[in-house]
Structure 1
Amino acid sequence: MSAGVELLPVTGLPEIEAGADLGALIAKAADLTDGDILVVTSKIVSKAEGRLVHAADREAAIDAETVRVVARRGGARIVENRQGLVMAAAGVDASNTAAGTVLLLPVDPDGSARALRARIQELTGRQVAVVITDTFGRPWRNGLTDVAIGAAGLSVLDDHRGRVDSHGNELTLTVTATADELAAAGDLVKGKTTGTPVAVVRGLARLVTEADGDGTGPLIRRAADDMFRLGTSEALREAVTLRRTVRAFTEDPVDPAAVRRAVAAAVTAPAPHHTTPWRFVLVESARARTELLDAMLAAWQRDLRELDGWDEAKVARRTARGDVLRNAPYLVLPCLVMDGSHDYPDARRATAEREMFTVAIGAAVQNLLVTLAGEGYGSAWVSSTMFCRDTVRATLDLPADWDPMGAIAVGRPAEAPRPRPDRPADPFVTVR
């Protein structure tokens, strides 16, 4: 344990201009000792590096620095910027800059931290660490805080996993963001409006390393591990985009709870007359799947021979399309029920009534497929059960009024989907 930690503002720095020797200015203003940690606001680093640019339109500047939009609400945007940071407005800052200009983040904040550390050691002989900071909002929390966007001379994470707490319990998850804690601590004495952009944290020399280290890269969560990578509406659009017809699956089992969550989403679909015209048959056992598919195959083969007059080779080619169901580890059969439908005496209105209910089950199935995609499962909705409904009902012992509306194969995709080109809305839109 440290005997104590001091937070010291570095005062007397001039207004920073492009090309300024920032290391020399800090070395002159700060009385540094070995083991100090310099906490430096990114704004003055950007100014020294000439990152002040003319931009009458701040939104255009944000666009230029953005590689991915995470969330958008009105005019506010959370984005991933060129440095890999997820933050508001890509870090483009229009405060405390001349009209018509904006300040961009350093191109390489870790590189800036290393250069600043080396320059200070050259001038003072002191071995210090450097943390470059910027202000972030945080999910689930109101208010802003400074975090590290560049670092040199310290490990930005302190991994407690495998250690034992005071009660003898082994820690399994705790990894402390040391650099972010230092950034927030330094901001307590830097302040946003006092013109004090640098602070010294003293008393934590144990954190300072001889090598520059890996910088802030370890602080950035990998996309594959990020459970909150998108905003709500963006996540929905992403899930819709991820929904692809998958025809090859791994042998990994499907989590029944995930399918039930998808069904729960499915039954929120709109339906006529405040009805619930959906039933979902979950074919979970291998025996039930085999019995169903064998019975369907026999019915299909019979109809293709007797009703369509196909030869055996043509029948075999046609029924091979059902392999996507046979090779899937899990099947879902959506069924339409007409409970609550109106009984019209004329055929025209009766047909329209059934069409309304059919549209409702289509909406429910789309909800199901999108939710499965969000759970990491692939799916293929095929129509085969609609051509042998009596066989399906008899094999699965379903009520006579349950109308199978295809079958959905579910499983983990065996391969990544092929790239799909963007499909703009205009070709499918008519405006009156």
Structure 2
Amino acid sequence: MSLEILPVTGLPEIDTDSDLAGLIAKAGVRGGGAFEDGDILVVTSKIVSKAEGRVLGATDREAAIDAETVRVVARRGSTRIVENRNGLVMAAAGVDASNTAPGTVLLLPEDPDASARALRARLQQLTGRRLAVVVSDTFGRPWRNGLTDVAIGAAGLRVLEDHRGRTDSHGNELAMTVTATADELAAAADLVKGKTTGTPVAVVRGPATHVTVEDGPGARALVRPAADDMFRLGTSEAVREAVTLRRTVRSFTAEPVDPAAVRRAVAAAVTAPAPHHTTPWRFVLVESAGTRQRLLDAMLDAWRRDLAELDGWDEQKIARRTARGEVLRGAPYLVVPCMVTDGSHAYPDARRAAAEREMFVVAAGAGVQNLLVALAGEGYGSAWVSSTMFCRDVVRQVLGLPEGWDAMGAVAVGRAAEPPVARAPRGVEAYVLER
């Protein structure tokens, strides 16, 4: 296959309600040449936006970005990578203050695929040729320096070329390869269009087999679904989302828990702050179903005995109280976080000795919170239940733990059986005292 990239020159300044298709058809290829069947026209989104009246009088570009933003993906200083209304993840929601009059900003087309379809229909009518149209815009890319043009709208084009199931020259079956053809065409055309040449349209001639009779799904098919996006958030945003996702889960599926995921969560847990450069965290991973059963049975017996003998509760009241621990039985995996006070300072008076222990308790709690948040980031639900604190000797005996390990509750881990109930955001003012 040979490939030519030809400029469409001589276009005037595009204004609101300009007949963009008519102007392109009149200009022709490289100074008046005719279009051919199978030509792919790559049109810069800026002139599409201008023709559609997407010019906004705005002295505050940031406010315009806010209005076009659905979700902030990452923020570094004043730079924002966001998802816009069309699902495109890009800098500043595509709001542009270049190539537009002072005091105005240029928004992306409201529906770039619809823009491409309309432009294609009109161009085919005017030229009598079978054409494809790509609306392009400039994107940065993760892991790569520099900008490149990509397709944000398309019509009459196979935007993706799926090679899966085919074989390479050595007979190996391709399992992952799906080529973003529309993006490749957009980037290639920009070598002719450029950023400052005043050539907003180019024709890619040669790959006519990619041109279709139907408009097709458009560039929307290039947007990766959120469920498949492993890099959906920036670092700080991912941490905040994991904190928000962390919920107490009371009901789990039977799906086994990946031990490697739990160990990654423990690795995050042990980065918590601790006093005196100590490491006061230990995490007992109760992976054996038999061990879980023995532990929970022994804990239940200890609870019942204490509630009856020490608190004088009757069987009905004991049953209601101990039923709260059933969440541990319903989980496919348990973690028992423990605190050790090795390296703590000894004080002769009770007040300072109590404060010293409290420092280690706070550090243990910080480690558990890290664990829960990291588990949420791995897609697991959890419930932190305090019951082991009331029968530490029993826990040590069943799990064979050293004397100095104090159980700090138990964490049930697994896939949540039900989606979390929507939780109203909590404002900070009720929890803040300013001085």
TM-score per shorter chain, which class? Answer: over 0.9
Once the two structures are TM-superposed, the CA of residue 21 in structure 1 deviates from its matched residue by 0.6
In 2: Cα distance, 1:11 partner to 1:154 partner: 23
Aligned length: 430
Q: CA deviation at 1:257?
A: 0.5
Structure 1 residue 276, shift from structure 2 partner? 0.3
Match of 1:55 among 47, 54, 58: 58
Query: Which residue of structure 2 lines up, in the alignment, with residue 223 of structure 1?
Result: 226
AA at the equivalent of 2:21: G
Say which SS state the counterpart of residue 430 (structure 2) adopts: helix
TM-score when normalising by structure 2? 0.98
**What is the CA-CA distance between 1:425 and the residue it aligns to?**
1.1
- Superposed, 1:273-292 pairs within 5 Å as 273-292=276-295
Q: What TM-score, normalized by structure 1, do the two folds share?
A: 0.99
Task: Identify the match of residue 141 of structure 1 among 141, 144, 150.
Answer: 144
Match of 1:391 in 2: 394
Distance 1:120 1:398 in 2: 77
1:88 aligns with 2:91: yes
**Does 1:266 pair with 2:269?**
yes
**Over 6 Å off, 4+ runs:** none
* 1:228-274 residue CA offsets vs partner (Å, 9 max, x unmatched): 00000000000000000001000000000000001111011110000
Distance 2:16 2:282 in 1: 67
Verify: 1:9 aligned to 2:7, yes or no. Answer: yes
Corresponding residue for residue 232 of structure 1: 235
Residues of 2 paired with 1:278 and 1:53: CA distance?
56
SS at match of 2:388: helix
Among candidates 298, 303, 308, match of residue 306 of structure 2? 303
User: Pairwise CA RMSD of aligned residues?
Assistant: 0.6
Residue 404 of structure 1, CA deviation: 0.4
What's the secondary structure of 1:353's corresponding residue?
Answer: helix
Q: Alpha-carbon deviations, 1:121-176, whole Å to 9, x = none? A: 11110011000000000000010000000000011000000000000000000000
- Aligned counterparts of 1:89 and 1:105: Cα–Cα separation in 2: 11
Once the two structures are superposed, what CA deviation does each residue of 1:353-394 show, in whole Å capped at 9, x if it has no partner?
A: 000000000000000000000000000001000000111111
State how far apart, in whole Å, the 2-side matches of 1:141 and 1:324 are: 46
Residue of structure 1 aligned with 2:339, choices 336, 340, 343: 336
How far apart, in 2, do the equivalents of 1:183 and 1:295 lie? 67
Residues in 1 aligned to 2:290 and 2:208: alpha-carbon distance in whole angstroms: 65
- Between the aligned partners of 2:332 and 2:209, the Cα distance in structure 1 is 54
2:175: which partner in 1? 172
Deviation at 1:217, TM superposition (A): 1.4
- Distance of 1:363 and 1:84 partners within structure 2: 36
Q: What is the CA distance between 1:96 and its match in structure 2?
A: 1.4
Aligned to 2:31: none
Equivalent AA in structure 2 for residue 424 of structure 1: G
SS of the aligned residue for 2:108 comes to coil
AA paired with 2:269?
A: A
Counterpart of 2:59, as a letter, is A
Alignment partner, residue 366 of structure 1 = 369
- Quote the sequence identity (%): 79
| Match 2:81 to one of 38, 55, 78 | 78
Q: CA deviation at 1:424?
A: 1.2
Give 1:218 shift.
Answer: 1.1
Residue 120 of structure 1 aligns with which residue? 123
Quote the Cα distance in structure 2 between the aligned partners of 1:244 and 1:26. 56
Task: Kindly indicate whether residue 413 of structure 2 is the aligned counterpart of residue 415 of structure 1.
Answer: no
Distance in 2 separating the partners of 1:326 and 1:117:
61
SS in 2 for 1:192: coil
- 3-state DSSP of counterpart to 2:146: strand
The offset of 1:431, in angstroms, is 1.4
The residue identity in structure 1 corresponding to 2:24 is I
What is the aligned partner in structure 1 of residue 255 from structure 2? 252
Task: Kindly provide the amino acid, as one letter, of the partner of residue 141 in structure 2.
Answer: R
Unaligned residue ranges in structure 2 (runs of 5+): 29-33
In structure 2, the residue matched to 1:209 is 212
Query: Which ranges of structure 1 fall in alignment gaps of 5 or more residues?
Result: none
Match of 2:171, as an amino acid? Answer: G
SS of the counterpart of 2:365?
helix
Q: Displacement of 1:82 after TM fit? A: 1.1
Partner of 1:20: 18
